[in-house]
Amino acid sequence: MFCALLLLAFQFNNVVFFVFQQLFSIFAFATCGGYSGQLWVSVDCQLDKASSNLSIGIDFAYPFRLHQVSFEAPLCEGRRRERLFLIGDYTSSAEFFVTIAVFAFLYSFMATIVYIFFQKKYRENNRGPLIDFIGTVVFSFMWLVSSSAWAKALSDIKVATDPDEVQELMSACKVMTNKCGSVQGPRWSGLNTSVVFGFLNFVLWAGNIWFVFKETGWHKGGPARYAGAPPEKQAETFNHQQQPYNQGSFDQSGGYSAQGDQEQVSEYSPVGGPTSYSNQM
């Protein structure tokens, strides 16, 4: 489906790319920034059934400061409990990914408005296409970096919130007579989708680089610039290029004229009259 949409965008103008960029950016930061998960573990105290807790719920959410997520677990020693925290802080990767998605959406939205309603201003002095080209290259690179960092962070989050890993934090689970188990693990469909949309955004922005590049003056060669210029501008450019050759020809002709005059003068004597006539006399 994505390939079909991308081919459709290739056939139309940059506006289609801008619309897809906005939609995919929304999907990326919505699936990541709006996530909240929960896992459940159980502790069965064999020697003290009254201390058992078979449904310990642990909630976590964006921006995934897991080291601040706490929960209570029984010690299987009367009514005593311990307060534990998850391990890890993945705020930087998650917030970086969401920030790039938000700024990419804003950039695409503003570019759509400029491209539709200020087309003449967009192409004036070639500034609009150049700015758009640089912005597209930058966001393509940032999408690749942020998506890769977020994919790595998500892998670490899955390990840190794995019920089997959480059980190793509990003191009661280290006692052989007690039984600890996993009731329910987190659902990762939303976060997995955010990673997919992150790399899809990279493909979309990178694919748009060529189309934005064609809008710039860099794509046009020298003959194309002269062909699109007015006749007066072409003549002025041609004369300016031919001026060194004309000047060289003038200097050469001048040199030949001076040499010819010297040869004519040499045929006469300094006093006056032809040298050959003096000899005859």
Q: Is 204 exposed, middle or buried (0-12, 13-18, 19+ CB in 10 A)?
A: buried
Residue 85 — pLDDT band, cuts 50, 70, 90? very high
- 60-85: average pLDDT: 92
Output the pTM of the full model.
0.71
Q: Over the stretch 180-226, which tens digit does the pLDDT of each residue have?
A: 999 999 999 999 999 999 999 999 999 888 888 887 766 555 444 44
| Count of CB atoms situated within 10 Å of the CB of 49 | 9
What span, in angstroms and rounded, lies between the C-alpha atoms of 268 and 280? Answer: 14
> How much is the pLDDT for 235?
46
Q: Over the stretch 244-269, which tens digit does the pLDDT of each residue have?
A: 444 444 444 444 444 444 444 444 44
* b/e burial code for range 254-273 (CB count within 10 A of at least 16 → b): eeeeeeeeeeeeeeeeeeee
Instruction: Answer for the pair 136, 115: CB distance below 8 angstroms, yes or no.
Output: no
- Find all residues with CB under 8 Å of 80, minimum gap 6, and list them: 51, 74
Q: If DSSP codes are grouped into helix, strand and coil, which group holds residue 73?
A: strand
Q: Over the stretch 32-62, which tens digit does the pLDDT of each residue have?
A: 999 999 999 999 998 888 888 889 999 999 9
Scanning the chain, the segments in alpha helix (DSSP H) are 2-11, 14-33, 91-117, 119-123, 127-160, 163-167, 189-213, 222-227, 231-266, 275-280
What span, in angstroms and rounded, lies between the C-alpha atoms of 212 and 218? Answer: 11
Domain boundaries, the chain: 8-216
Range scoring the smallest mean pLDDT among 93-97, 141-145, 170-174: 170-174
Q: Over the stretch 105-130, which tens digit does the pLDDT of each residue have?
A: 999 999 888 888 887 777 777 777 88
Range scoring the smallest mean pLDDT among 3-17, 71-85, 166-180, 200-214: 3-17
Q: Over the stretch 8-21, which tens digit does the pLDDT of each residue have?
A: 444 445 677 788 89
